[in-house]
Every structure is written in C-alpha cells, then in structure tokens.
A and B are shown apart, each in its own frame.
Chain A
Amino acid sequence: MIISDAVPPLKVSHLTKKYRLPSGDFFEAVSDISFEVKAGECFGLLGPNGAGKSTSIQCITGFYPATSGQVFIQGQDVHAVPKLARQHLGVSPQEDTLDSDFNVFDQLVRHATFFRVDVAEGRVRAQKLLRQFGLEDKAKQPVESLSGGMRRRLQVARALISRPQVLVLDEPTTGLDPDARRVLWEVLTQCRKDGLAVLLSTHYMDEAERLCDRIAIINQGKILDIQSPADLIAKYISQPLIEETIRPGTVWKRPPNLEDVYLKLTGSKLGVNGL
C-alpha cells in the first residue's frame, strides 16, 4: 500500500460541471466544489435528490468530463491521466452495474483483470472478499439469484477487488435492510483501518453521523459547509433539545441530530418547526 502524507488520496479542486439540457439551456449541476479525503478517512456527501451528488461522483471517477476544476486520485489527475488515476480507485455506482453474464465469483475475477490483476491473484482476492461480505456460499450462483442487499454487497466487494486507495460509494445502502447495512458498515470500518480514503454519498442521516469523519452538505450543486457531524450540529442548532409533535397530542423532546442540520441548510419545507 502506498500512503503519502503529502498528497491526499483524493483531492477535488474547484470542480464545476455544466451540461446542456434537452431545452438547450445550460444547467450547472456542480458549482465549484472543493474538498480532500485523507487516508483512513470517511468523507460524506449529504444532500437531497438532485443536489448534484451523483453528478459530482461521475466527474470524480472521470466518467463525465469536468467543465472546470480538477480531481486528483493519489496525485494523478483523473481527467488528464484516467488510466493511471483510476488504477487506485474503486467505485460502487448508485445503479446496479453487476455483470449478469458472470456468476458471483467470476464477476470479481473478471473485474480484477481490468486493473491488470492476473486471474490467479484475482481468485485469491475474490475468495477473501466473498468471505468478508458473507457471500461465500453464493460464489457459483448467478447474479440474478441474489437479493437486493446481496447485490449491493457484491458491488462494493467488486470495488475493492483492485485494492484501491480511494473507495467511492454512491448511496451504497439505499434500500438495504438493517442487517445488510451492518455488514457494509463493518467492512467500511475495516477498509478505513487499512488506510483507504472513503467517499460516501448517502441519504441516511444516522449512517452519515455514524460513519463519516467529515460531511459536506451539498444543495443545488454547492457545498454549504464541511464539518464533522458533531461540529455541524453544534454550529447550526442552538437548542439543547428539539421538540417535535410526532402524533396529535404527543410531543417528543430529543437532542438535535444531523437531520435537523440537513433540513435547516437545505431549506426543506418539511423541516422541523422553529429551526
């Protein structure tokens, strides 16, 4: 593993992405976002649907060209030298991109070859990952036979087969049951112990609060703030207790959480009263 203190594994610098809508107008989906993710850190992108999280991630992986700004993975510019930069990058996209022409095990081995990992080594890694993700007994099964949670786990396992230094997960736990989420969380903890830099986009506040060292709250393509979850709560919510009417006549008092910050910053009308 190559970890350098001088160069962050992932550095996003003034990334802007505009594209033309079918109407002919330009739409700025991502506006001048900048952040770094250190080795062993989990960095969260939190924002409502359509905030620009996925477009940002498509630019960070180099699949979309950036309108301006740069993305560096292990110091390599992902748009200028995508082959070198992406050698260090593992991605689990938001949509299911598993290759249904291969069974669970062969899928991982085949994917490893895209990173110049030979088949023998790929098999060893695949076996280890399937064990880690609790998919060992599914190795010879076709992908179609897996449940949604298993497919998601397999897609994250696939992102790790190349032993990347940067792991990008776009809403990895959307639609998963609590059990499947736990498995992913445990693996993430292990990855961070191994020094991976993790970029995570999510809708789940509890997940972001629990997993992320720092969070960027993103809305309408702009980063509104970057802080640790605790600092975000301290900065934006002054009340020690939040009162919420949860049923007619029943008022809950609870400490503020990340969701309150999120709703306040992204200006949702569904927010809690009085914040």
Chain B
Amino acid sequence: MKLPRSRQLPRPMRLPDSVWAIRCVWLRYFDVFRKSIFYYLVTTFSEPVLYLLSFGLGVGSLIGNLQVHGNSVSYRSFIFSGIIGQTLLFQGFFEASYGAFIRMYYQKIFQAMAITPITLSEVLWGELLWDAGKATVAAEVVTIMGVATGDFRPISLIAILPLAFLAALLFSGMGLTVAAYSKTIEQISYPQYLLVFPMFLFCGVFYPIENLPLAAQAVAWIFPLTSVVSLSRTITLGFPFEAQAVPLLLVWVVGLVWVSRSAMVRRLVK
C-alpha cells in the first residue's frame, strides 16, 4: 500500500530524507551536550588551554625565538599553532573511540536508532559529524586565543576552519575505526599509546621536524598529524606552504572515514 508522501511524513518543510536523518542523530548528541554543558566545557576546553599555558608561557619563556624555514618565530607562537593540531587529534580521536565505543557497546544507541526511519549509515554519519564538529569548535577556541594574544594572524580565525574540520573528520574516522575493531574498551589503549601519543610527540607539535634526521622526517610525514600541523602553521603563522600536506590530508580523510564506516557496519550487521 503506497501512501501519499505527505501523509506518511507530515511536515510542511521537508529536508531531503538523509539530511534530515543525519541532523536528527546530530541533534540527539547536541541534546546530551546541552544537558551536561558544564562537563563538556571543562573536558573539551580545559585541555588545550592547559597546554597553551604550560608550553606557551612556561616552556616558551625558556626558549625564546626559533629559526624555522628561515623565519624567526617565538617558541610560544610556534607551539600555540601546534596545539591546534594536538587539539584536533585528541578531541576527534577520543570522542570517536572511547565515546563511540560506549555508545555502540554499552548503550547500544546505534542499534536502537538504526531500526527507526534512520539507517545505520546515517547514524554513523551523525556520529562522525558530531565528533568532528566538536573538535573543530575546540580548535577554533585555540585559534581565537592565539589571535587574541597576537601570536596568530587575524585571518586565521576563518582560514583555520576548513583545515580544522577536515582534520577533525580524519581523527574522528581514526577513533571510530579503533572503536569498530576493539573487542573491549581496554583495547582502545593500544592505538592510543602506539599511534596517538607518538603522533603527538613526533609530528611537529613541539619542535620543527626539520630538526629530525631525514629518514625520521619521511616517517613523520606518513602520519597525518604532520600534514595538519604544517598547514596549521601556514595558516596561522604564514610559514611556507608544504604542498604534499594537502593530498596526504585528503587521502587520510577519505580513507579513514570510509574504513571506519565499513568496519562499524561489519561489526554490527551480520
């Protein structure tokens, strides 16, 4: 029996079905966020702020200026810009790994939503876009602070957004992939210690990777945080544009989003 569409789904202003569904999932996350906004503000923003204060003011005052790519830049500005990459990595990865694992494994909300008019594919898009959106906002907060302290170029406020969103999607995809393959929540620690922390330490957040041996530089470029940090410095500090960062970033984004979604579907659906 085919009903007229208007009777099946009574709503005067209708978005395309999939857009509506993804928005619906996203609003579920936003509602949770709204209900415990203090918790989220503390957990989302305290971390980058603490890094900024500790490394920027503490370590920054010890080191003074760096010579990078022939530019002289204060260590504080250098590290502020790196903290954008670190924020995207941590916020994206942790929300999509531990957060999504809890939602999928303990709360089973993916399973509950995907038997309504929303499909599992849309649930997973909603998850990724929420995780990525939250990390993007956190990175924007760091950028605002950097502009306010005079470390970043004012144009960064807007120019950082496309980079931040793509990088956030990348690290969310990485987190969701980990959630999909982890049998227990403890197993998430392996990629956390063997992938996320090494990236944090070796991909140019704290020092220019030009100081590493050539072989180590090549390895660093394989990991996506290096591309993110390079582009972040180009945008915020006007460092020379390293062209390989763009295709590397795009390949990682597309690859991880695709792998994370198909791995999660394979895990849940027989």
Chain A interface (Cβ within 8 Å of chain B)? Answer: 2, 4, 6-7, 17, 19, 29, 55, 58, 61-65, 74-76, 82-84, 86-87, 89, 91, 93, 95-102, 106, 110-111, 113-116, 162
Contact = CB atoms under 8 A, between A and B. Distances in A.
A4 B270 contact: no
- Residue among A76, A87, A96, A97 with the highest chain B CB neighbour number at 10 A: A97
B109 to A, nearest CB: 5
Contacts of B1: 2, 4, 6-7, 74-76
B4 to A, nearest CB: 11
B107 A99 contact: yes
A63 B115 contact: yes
B115 A65 contact: no
A232 B1 CA distance: 33
7 contacts: A86-B117, A93-B108, A95-B108, A98-B107, A101-B35, A101-B107, A162-B116
A86 B8 CA distance: 11
A51 B9 CA distance: 37
A83 B5 CA distance: 12
Interface stretch (B26-34, B41-49, B150-158): B26-34
Interface size class of B (residues with CB under 8 A): 20 to 34
A114 B270 CA distance: 24
B3 interface: yes
Contacts, number: 91
A-B interface, 5 closest residue pairs, ranked by CB to CB distance from nearest: A97-B112, A75-B1, A114-B116, A97-B108, A61-B115
B114 interface: yes
Interface string B26-64: 011001100100000000000000000000000000000
Nearest to A158: B112
A264 to B, nearest CB: 31
B118 A114 contact: yes
